[in-house]
Amino acid sequence: MVGALAKRTGETRFLTLKPGQYIDFAGIRITARTCETTPPWEWPKLQGAFLQVDERLAGQVKRVFSGWLYAESPSLNVMQHPRYDVWLKSCTMRFPHGPSPKPPSSPAKKSPDVPESAADSRAR
């Protein structure tokens, strides 16, 4: 799902696109080239889409953005335009069944399956 804002009119829309599809909105064409997420068994969870945005002015088409947008870090790569904002809201992918998702382990906790060093066992 992609969010789009026409700054002149204040119109905001949330658009659902599949890779290869495009939608015309307020003078721009947003084309989704791909949409990817990390698999459920990997951390951190990230969602990214490669989008292309073309503006139509006076019968001419000009590409104003071509690149990756990230849902979790919208400021990482921004579509900068004086009349439009486009951002990634979410991305959906299906994965084959893999390992069960596990939350990231805290570095402060000692993993129970890590063997003790010889120095640790002598200290007891």
Give CA–CA dist 32/18, Å, rounded: 7
Residue corresponding to tokens 């486009």: 86
Give CA–CA dist 31/51, Å, rounded: 6
Looking at residue 119, its amino acid is A
Residue 120 phi/psi, 5-degree rounding, is -65, -40
Domain interval for residue 26 = 2-122
**β partners of residue 67:** 51
Give CA–CA dist 11/52, Å, rounded: 20
* pTM of this prediction exceeds 0.75: no
Looking at the structure of the chain, the number of domains it has is: 1
- Give 43-94 pLDDT, tens digit per residue: 888 899 999 999 998 889 999 999 999 998 877 777 889 999 999 999 876 6
